[in-house]
Amino acid sequence: MDWQLLWFVLLGILLAGYAILDGFDFGVGMLHPFAKGDEERRIVLNSIGPLWDGNEVWLVTFGGALFAAFPEAYATIFSGYYEALMLVLGCLIFRAISIEFRSKRPEAWWRSTWDSLFFMSSLTISFAFGLAVGSALIGIPLDDRGIFRGSILDQIGIYQILVGLLSVSMFLMHGAIFLVFKTRDDLQQRMIRWTRRGFVAFLTMYLVVTTATWLWIPRAVATFEHFPYAWIVVVLKFLAVANIPRCLKNHNYLQAFFSSCCVIAALVFLLGVALFPNLVTSSPVSENSLTIYHAASSEMTLKIMSLYALIGMPFVLGYTFMAYRTFRGAVKLDKHSY
């Protein structure tokens, strides 16, 4: 494995980690309006209260690694998707502020305002991430220097919207399963019902997007001819999807959550296979695409980055493990809660 490919794989691992960890965060935000009364909404909010900022470390690390390992792709992505990224950044800020500010005042109008912002920002981010993935698969217009030559309308189409809806439904299901662990009594029963609704919505959009990808983007499917072992991941993904309703029926929510994590990781892996060797795919002139070899930093830079990653990743993994272990179990409100 060469250094460029190694960092392409590491970026995929960081993206999968972020999608799994912040994915249920977004799902919790989208389910927040279905909690009844102030106490239930505080329970839902506090289910992610100690965890959400740690989850976003993975996104920051992904952005930093992309900048250092593939600076040309970073420049093209951040200039071409400028409007979408500003929208996501704004939603991340409002989402964080909503969590922190909601409990500062007792008035109903104050709390309902932050509740609305929390829901809208979670929904918008989930949709925007799916939209970006759909756009990456379809491709965007690049010139022969790899510079984006188009408008925001080139990033929005039927296929991109379908992937956006898949992303929303997947995070909704993921968040509902997570909330089953963190709630009790009537609220927990309501979240159990949402796990089933979320799975039906996810399965519907999953079949629609799979069919659309097969028909509209033959390039993405053709890549599997060069990587036949990737079909193993496709099979494992189907098994993980099929295992979710079985676990929900048997009330085995821990295994259902694990299967949901595997589905997200498999989808990120298959996204990488479909894009390879491109980081940014050009459409309609595919020769202008930015590949991992054209857009990479020098090998010396990648080697030094690998050393830092070897030292730093155990700390990130250790912090994540300790945070989830410390705050495991159902939410109990106290005077320090949000």
Q: One digit per residue, pLDDT tens: the chain, 338 residues?
A: 789 999 999 999 999 999 999 999 999 999 999 998 899 999 999 999 888 888 888 998 999 999 999 999 999 988 888 888 888 899 999 999 999 898 888 899 999 999 999 999 999 999 999 999 999 889 888 888 888 887 888 888 899 999 999 999 999 999 999 999 899 989 999 999 999 999 999 999 999 999 999 888 888 777 777 778 888 988 999 999 999 999 999 999 999 999 999 999 999 999 998 888 888 888 888 888 899 998 899 999 999 999 988 998 888 889 888 888 888 888 888 777 78
Q: How far apart are CA 10 and CA 119, in angstroms?
A: 31
Tell me whether residue 295 is in a domain.
yes
Q: Over the range 212-223, which residues count as b (16 or more CB within 10 Å of their CB) and which as e?
A: bbeeebebbeeb
Q: Residue 47 corresponds to which amino acid?
A: S
H/E run at residue 229: none
Q: How far apart are CA 184 and CA 55, in angstroms?
A: 24
DSSP notation for 38-64: HHHHHHHHHHHTTTHHHHTHHHHHHHH
Do the beta carbons of residue 244 and residue 280 sit within 8 Å? Answer: no
Please give the structure tokens belonging to residue 29: 């935000």
Whose CA is closest to 183, among 43, 62, 319, 28? 43
Q: Residue 104 corresponds to which amino acid?
A: K
Tell me whether residue 335 is in a domain.
no
Q: How far apart are CA 136 and CA 154, in angstroms?
A: 11
Whose CA is closest to 132, among 91, 164, 92? 164
Tell me whether residue 187 is in a domain.
yes
Tell me whether residue 293 is in a domain.
yes
Please give the structure tokens belonging to residue 138: 């379809």
Q: How far apart are CA 161 and CA 131, in angstroms?
A: 6
Tell me whether residue 336 is in a domain.
no
Domain tally, the chain: 1
Note the pLDDT of residue 330.
87
Domain that residue 100 falls in: 3-327
Tell me whether residue 265 is in a domain.
yes
Tell me whether residue 337 is in a domain.
no
Q: How far apart are CA 95 and CA 181, in angstroms?
A: 22
Tell me whether residue 338 is in a domain.
no
**Which ranges of 141-290 does DSSP label H, i.e. alpha helix?**
158-182, 185-216, 218-222, 230-249, 253-275
Please give the structure tokens belonging to residue 14: 């960081």
Whether the pTM exceeds 0.85: the reply is yes
Q: How far apart are CA 3 and CA 305, in angstroms?
A: 10
Do the beta carbons of residue 281 and residue 141 sit within 8 Å? Answer: no
- The residues pairing with 291 across neighbouring beta strands, listed in sequence order, are 278
Note the pLDDT of residue 329.
83
